[in-house]
Amino acid sequence: LGNTEAVRQAMQKAKVDTENRLYAAQHLQPRPVTDAQVRERYDAIVKEAGSDEYQVSVMTLADEPAARFALMRVRWGEPFSTVAAQTGVAAQGDGTPRWVSFRTPAVEGHTQGLPLPLAQALSTLKVGEVTPEPIAAAGRYVIARLDA
């Protein structure tokens, strides 16, 4: 049995797996994180944060007609989260509220992952308001509600 193909393949696989584990153990040592690195990252995050925090529910839709229809449903009184769950296409766009903070006026790359037009619109909304129009971003359309 020691000379069968199945045994030879198992031995080869075990050899390769062992070599990979030994290589990783010898060459991929984790580097400790220093207090200075933690402080530097913390300071960078604080520098990006604005004076206000926004709790925003966002839904992302594939095209403008679908976005306009979803917006119309929200304006007619359907719960935002229900419309988002039924029509949204992005995992992050399921209508679940999240908190963001950025300096205003919003600048590209400094909006905690929100598309710049959405960040600009958020700073003009009052609590409970929905973006007046779908916002085009990265080939999709976004509708947002400012929750807090």
46-82 pLDDT per residue, tens: 887 877 888 888 888 888 998 999 999 999 998 888 8
Average confidence (pLDDT) over 101-124: 82
CA distance readout (Å), 65 to 12, 95, 112, 143: 57, 18, 27, 12
Highest mean pLDDT among 13-17, 77-81, 125-129, 142-146: 13-17
Q: How confident is the model at residue 89 (pLDDT cuts 50, 70, 90)?
A: low
Domain topology for 50-146 = Chitinase A; domain 3 (3.10.50)
**Which of 33-42, 56-65, 81-90 shows the lowest per-residue confidence on average (mean pLDDT)?**
81-90
Residue 109 main-chain phi, psi, to 5 deg: 85, -5
Q: What DSSP character marks residue 63?
A: S
Q: How confident is the model at residue 105 (pLDDT cuts 50, 70, 90)?
A: confident
Residues 6+ apart with CB under 8 A from 100: 53, 54, 56, 111, 112, 113, 114, 119, 122
pLDDT given for residue 96 in this prediction: 64
Residue located via tokens 């973006």: 131
23-35 pLDDT per residue, tens: 998 888 888 999 9
pLDDT given for residue 37 in this prediction: 94
Exposure letters 61-96 (e unless 16+ CB within 10 A, then b): beeeebbeebbebbeeeeebbebbeebbeeeebebe
Domain-by-domain residue ranges, the chain?
A: 5-46, 50-146
| Rounded Cα gap, residues 65 and 60, in angstroms | 12
Asked whether 143 and 95 are in contact (CB, 8 A), the reply is no
Instruction: Give the global pTM.
Output: 0.63
